[in-house]
Structure 1
Amino acid sequence: MALEYFSGFSTSMHTISQSLLYPVLIVLAIFFIYSLITVGMMLAEYYKRRKLHLDLKNVAGLILSLTRENISNEITTVLNNVQISESHKQVLVALSQTKNVDPAFRESLALKMMEDETIMVAKKLEKTDIIAKISPAVGLMGTLIPLGPGLTALGAGDIQLLADHLMTAFDAAVLGMAAAAIAFTISKIRRRWYEEDISNLETLAESVLEVLKS
């Protein structure tokens, strides 16, 4: 009786694992294609960033030289001539409009906006981070699943069927590792870019807060 239950359980597990083969291969193909698309997007972003140049010391100096009375209009004028992202401009303009509020609230607002920008950066990196972490595991699934039928074919002496299953297993492993490597590289490069952007934004925000304090 125990052997019958074990045989039924083993058959069920085998059926479930084999039914996952095509979904796993489809997911691997999606991961790999998305990674290649993201490479193109990153290269476009790289060439766009090469044309941008932010003289942080000069801009911070301009902000510190502004008058408190008209800081909102003046900082808008300064930022229109500075090559930074629109979201960062909105943060600095929003801070410049808080000259009549409590300083403690102003600093809390600045901290909250910095956190929002950091969360936005994390969302941009989320997809490639996920692919970099789980693509090897999915590739391993795609490698192991065909080995069961492959071993069965080997026992039956069907070398051609064994070769087909091994080819599927190797292809899954290669796709998984390639997608993970590409996604990891993209995340690493973009994270360095965005951390630099956030650091620049923090410096400019501190300059605005300093003007509002004086």
Structure 2
Amino acid sequence: MLSFFGDTFIADAMNIISQSLSIPVLIILLIIVVLSLFLLGEVIAEYFKNKNHKVRDTRDMMWAINNAPSIDEVKSIIKNSNIPSNQKVILSEIANSSTMKKSSREALARRLVEVEEERVDKTLNKTDVITRVGPTLGLMGTLIPMGPGLAALGAGDINTLASSLTIAFNTTIVGIGSGALCYVLGKIRKQWCDKALADLDALSDAVLDYME
């Protein structure tokens, strides 16, 4: 008898905990949908902003830096280039370090590039988190309403069952859809970021070589 009451208490406690998560899960899924659409807009904006930048542009810029008559001309080349603004800031800081010793300039350049890599990682983490969390919350949103739904089925309450199933299907679609969208966005963005970091490495080396 004591064991029966203990089992009942545990089952009731688990039911209360699971049902109390219903609203938070739905709210977080709604936030994830908004964030996914926001990230989609960011990726589209990045595409139109950087679509005209080609590998030959980086090559031509490196030639221009190597053939520049002065460090001021190097700074002008950087300022007037069509590379992303954050890369302009990094290259300009490297160019401004011309009065430093060689080892200090190289250490500064490495650190600036590392900071940019950290920024890129934070950007990519946004889509990675949603890719993993979205489907998980979608599954939670599917299973949580099934308890009351099955209880309603046993009591012959078809309306409650239909409502629970609707919530379950909607959360599944939202969770998996958001995760799939962010997975694709993350893959696309990673390709762009890898290319941008490779260009930044090459350009920073060109600026450092010029100041030797």
Scaled by the length of structure 2, the TM-score of the pair is 0.92
SS in 2 for 1:101: coil
1:8 aligns with 2:5: no
Q: Structure 1 residues 31-40 or 18-27, which shifts more?
A: 31-40
Q: Who is 2:176 aligned against?
A: 177
Q: Who is 1:93 aligned against?
A: 92
Whole-Å separation in 2 of the counterparts to 1:187 and 1:84:
21
Whole-Å separation in 2 of the counterparts to 1:41 and 1:114:
22
| 2:30 alignment partner AA | A
Q: Which whole-Å deviations, capped at 9, do the CAs of 1:28-55 have from their partners, x for residues lacking one?
A: 1121122123222322221222244561
Q: Which whole-Å deviations, capped at 9, do the CAs of 1:9-35 have from their partners, x for residues lacking one?
A: 211110111011111111111211221
Q: Which whole-Å deviations, capped at 9, do the CAs of 1:83-136 have from their partners, x for residues lacking one?
A: 012221121121122233232222221111111001111222222221111111
Q: Who is 2:193 aligned against?
A: 194
- The residue correspondences of 1:47-58 to structure 2 (distance < 5 A) are 47-53=48-54, 55-58=57-60
Give the gaps of 5 or more residues in structure 1: none
Give the deviation of 1:174 after TM superposition: 0.5
Q: Who is 2:125 aligned against?
A: 126
| 1:200 alignment partner AA | D
| 2:211 alignment partner AA | L
Scaled by the length of structure 1, the TM-score of the pair is 0.91
Q: Which whole-Å deviations, capped at 9, do the CAs of 1:182-204 have from their partners, x for residues lacking one?
A: 11111111111111111101001
1:166 aligns with 2:168: no
Matched residues, percent identical?
Answer: 36
| 1:79 alignment partner AA | I
SS in 2 for 1:55: helix
Q: Who is 2:32 aligned against?
A: 31
Whole-Å separation in 2 of the counterparts to 1:55 and 1:151:
63
Q: Structure 1 residues 26-35 or 170-179, which shifts more?
A: 26-35
CA RMSD of aligned residues (A): 1.6
Q: Structure 1 residues 142-151 or 94-103, which shifts more?
A: 94-103
| 1:161 alignment partner AA | T
Whole-Å separation in 2 of the counterparts to 1:112 and 1:80:
21
| 1:5 alignment partner AA | G
Whole-Å separation in 1 of the counterparts to 2:101 and 2:81:
29
Whole-Å separation in 2 of the counterparts to 1:191 and 1:18:
38
| 1:88 alignment partner AA | Q
Q: Who is 1:60 aligned against?
A: 62
Q: 1:113 to 1:183 in 2, by over 3 A?
A: same
SS in 2 for 1:6: helix
Q: Which whole-Å deviations, capped at 9, do the CAs of 1:63-89 have from their partners, x for residues lacking one?
A: 11234xx41x11111112210122211
| 1:191 alignment partner AA | K
Q: Structure 1 residues 20-29 or 36-45, which shifts more?
A: 36-45
Give the deviation of 1:157 after TM superposition: 2.3
User: Following superposition, which runs of at least 4 residues in structure 1 exceed 3 angstroms of deviation?
Assistant: 51-54
Whole-Å separation in 1 of the counterparts to 2:5 and 2:21:
25
Give the gaps of 5 or more residues in structure 2: none
